[in-house]
Amino acid sequence: MARLGVGIVGTGWVAGEYIRAFSTLPETEVRALCSRTLEGAKAKASEYGLSCSVFNDFEKMITADGIDIVCVATPPNLHKAVAVAAAQAGKHLIVEKAMATTLEDARAIRDAVARAGVKSVVSFVLRWNPLFEIIKIQLADGAIGDVFFGEVDYFHGIGPWYKQYAWNVKKEVGVSSLLSAGCHAVDALRWFMGGTVREVSAYSTFGKGPDFKEYEYDPTLCLVCQFGDGRVGKVASCIECIQPYTFHINLVGTRGTIRNNQIYSKTKFPGQSTWATVPTILPDSGDVSHHPFLKEAGHLVDCILNNTESHVNVADAYLTHEICFAADLSAREKQPVRLPLG
């Protein structure tokens, strides 16, 4: 079988993980890199020992021979132009989060992919974290019954020591605490609870600590959302905290509770008197090399080869982003916001 050719737009930190993933999969080959400068693309290719074409124009890369998959790994304010052009050219897509920095751009990507009929994955890569997989299995098995309240919190101090800090602080690019990073928590809440969010209320603040003064938006936000069936969820996102990276999950069900890698379920464990702990790999690092990009890339390849849709295609990811945009709007206007957004 001929390999699928991959072109990667963007040559930053996360692009390296996509290079590793697509170079490891037997079904794919990295055939092109695109950066703002040819020198930057050549340097990235040399860093990873790639013999591939290099570009400083993403449109030329997209239309080059042998490109079947386009990976969009630029800063998020540049995603829309690349993703829409790639879809229109009939290329399958992986798009880094945030998928877009405006609701209109997110809709444009969603609609372009739908019209083109290409396969897509938005990089909520934690869906392939082993803890996430274990929780999904426990929920499907009815271990804690029906989840009626869930909370997922994202605490990650993104300061000058973190590689995306330089652009992350800018309102035009980072946008908000949720769009810059906390959207992982919003997506996890949707992934675990299912259903449709109908209303969001949110508040944001800015601690203005010495390491985070350059942020052009509030780096801390807390939202509460109500699902269409009355269930409730909560997400806190803080990217100005001084603490170890923390991704907190708490799911309360009619028969028990899951708290990170701990479970309390008297129906599954009769006589249980305290938490049962499942040793596994946790989502406990902000280092991109800690995340399962290989599984994510392999999932897209499976979708392409088997003509199936991903559980985190752009249409699904749009719903996560819509909650983020609604929460930001609620925090600005200091009132609840109904979904879907008009």
pLDDT in tens, the chain (342 residues): 689 999 999 999 999 999 999 999 999 999 999 999 999 999 999 999 999 999 999 999 999 999 999 999 999 999 999 999 999 999 999 999 999 999 999 999 999 999 999 999 999 999 999 999 999 999 999 999 999 999 999 999 999 999 889 999 999 999 999 999 999 999 999 999 999 999 999 999 999 999 999 999 999 999 999 999 999 999 999 999 999 999 999 999 999 999 999 999 988 999 999 999 999 999 999 888 899 999 999 999 999 999 999 999 999 999 999 999 999 999 999 999 999 998
Q: Please tell me the predicted confidence (pLDDT) of residue 1.
A: 65
Which amino acid is it at 251? L
Q: CA 321 to CA 50: how far, in whole Å?
A: 34
User: Which two tokens mark 257?
Assistant: 């509770």
Look at residue 266 in the predicted model and tell me its pLDDT. Answer: 86
pTM strictly above 0.95: yes
Q: Which run of H or E residues covers position 283?
A: none
H-only helix segments in 162-313: 165-168, 177, 183-193, 293-306
Per-residue confidence (pLDDT) for residue 300, from 0 to 100: 98
What token pair was written down for 22? 């697509």
Q: Is the peptide bond before 292 cis (omega within 30 degrees of 0)?
A: no
> What domains are there in the chain, each with its CATH number?
4-125+293-311 (3.40.50.720), 126-285+320-338 (3.30.360.10)
Per-residue pLDDT at 123: 97
CA distance 135 to 143: 10
Helix pair 130-140, 183-193: axis angle to 10 deg: 20
> What pLDDT is recorded for position 342?
87
